[in-house]
Amino acid sequence: MNYLLAVDSGNARIKWGLHDGHSWSHHGVVQQGESEQLERVWQGLPEPMRIIISNVAGDGARSNLSDLFAHWRAQPQWAVASAYQCGVRNYYADPTQLGTDRWAALIAAWRIQRQGCIVVSAGTAMTVDALSDTGEFLGGIIVPGLQLMQDALTRGTSSLRPEGGEFRDYPDSTKDAIWSGGAHALAGAVERMAVMLTETLGHIPECIISGGAASILLDRLNIPAMMVDNLVLEGLMAMDEDAAGTVL
């Protein structure tokens, strides 16, 4: 079987999936740097014929992954953002400087929607990107993720300590106030981008959300939104198909 291994190497985690041409037959996630655990899992996989990777975690992560790929015959394909691919036009000032995870997510979102939308990845950092009705990536923002916000606040103030919290409409404890404030900040950033894109498009765009904090964010938004698991992996698969000349 013609298996494709897609790997999303992010700042905190590595998500991966093995696609058999019909569905993701195997998938998983490990913390960044846990190469031994990843090696044990991958040893039990059918051998992939193709490998495609989005890596935004630096040269060390790339080197670790390269070592793991070495026992397979397939030559890894390291994704790079471009000016145009899979129906999406990249209007970044320097298209190659766009993170490959954001590029893959935009491609996947366009494949799902085929119209203007907001594409959100809520991970260590949160990115909020805008797609036009004709598949143009207009630009986007990057803000600290929920955990980074809490860490920055507790590091910068002597009286606050990092501890668990939960969302409340009217928080009555410091830990809940910090948690709720972060959730409101993320939701507000998404909704502000949605307002701007609505003015550009002339209609209210759908918001597509992925990432570790996607479910937290989804519950806070007052705009049409849907959560899509493994959005980057879906985009990587589309990029692989495009490179192979498959009609999308």
Q: What are the residue numbers of the active site? A: 101
Listed as own residue / partner, the contacts of 215-221 with beta carbons closer than 8 Å and 24 or more positions apart are 216/122, 216/146, 216/167, 216/183, 217/120, 217/122, 217/126, 217/183, 217/186, 217/187, 217/190, 219/167, 220/167, 220/183, 220/184, 220/186, 220/187, 221/187, 221/190, 221/191
CA neighbor of 165 nearest in space, from 186, 152, 183: 183
- Using the CB atoms, write b or e for 188-198: b if 16+ within 10 Å: ebbbebbeebe
